[in-house]
Amino acid sequence: MTLIPVNQYGDKILRKKAVPVQKIDPEFVKFVKDMFETMHNAYGVGLAANQVGSNKSVFVVDISVMKEFPDEKPRVFINPKIIDRSDKTCSYEEGCLSIPDVRADVIRPEKVTIAFKDLDFNDQVMEVDGFLCRVIQHEYDHLNGIYFTDRIDEFEQKKLKKELIRIKNRKIEVEYPVTPRERD
């Protein structure tokens, strides 16, 4: 398997809406495996395709790496669509491999129902809550060009501005491969 460099805050692909996956072939399966490898190497629990340079509508999640969720299995979400959200919300601190060392409390629906295709390209529907729900919504946002920092209030965004510029300019140190800075 191959580690894929992670796109960082400010990279154009992170603001683009993903395009649907049309078919599963060996190249796509390898890409998904490489996504898992890249995510695990960076100690992440979720990774969207655009974070590793692809415009495909797919993300991977594995919260089993956390001691609280040893029974959860790694999951692949192809062409996901959140079809229902609870009115009840909750706040939780989030971080992101594309925005290293930045954390902020984000308010999101407590439960969602998500429709997607699995790696066999079979239709699936899941109702999720708790931490898994949080990770799914975070990665789903990536496929729609949304950062978690877009979901915090303006005051908090202003407090993060200098750090986000440092990330965009690659003035950061991380223990996983990242893409070189895009030139404007």
The one catalytic residue among 27, 139, 154, 182: 139
9 and 147 Cβ atoms separated by less than 8 Å: yes
Q: Which residues of the chain have pLDDT under 50?
A: none
| Angle subtended at Cα 57 by Cα 42 and Cα 119, rounded to the nearest 5 degrees | 80
175 in active site:
no
45 Cβ contact list (under 8 Å, min separation 6): 39, 61, 62, 63, 65, 66, 135
Residue 1: the pLDDT is 75
Q: What is the DSSP string of the chain?
A: ----PBP-TT-GGGGSPPB------HHHHHHHHHHHHHHHHTT-SEEEGGGGT--BSEEEE--TTSTT-TTPPPEEEEEEEEEEE-S-EEEEEEEETTEEEEEEEEEEESEEEEEEE-TT--EEEEEEEHHHHHHHHHHHHHHTT--GGGGS-HHHHHHHHHHHHHHHTT----SS-BPPPPP-
Residue 184: the pLDDT is 62
Q: What b-and-e string marks burial along 51-71, b requiring 16 or more CB atoms within 10 Å of the CB?
A: bbebebbbbbbbbeeeeeeee
pLDDT tens string 78-131: 999 999 999 999 999 999 999 999 999 999 999 999 999 999 999 999 999 999
68 and 98 Cβ atoms separated by less than 8 Å: no
Residue 182: the pLDDT is 81
Which token pair is 134?
């949080």
Q: What are the structural domains of the chain?
A: 12-168 (3.90.45.10)
Residue 38: the pLDDT is 98
pTM: 0.96
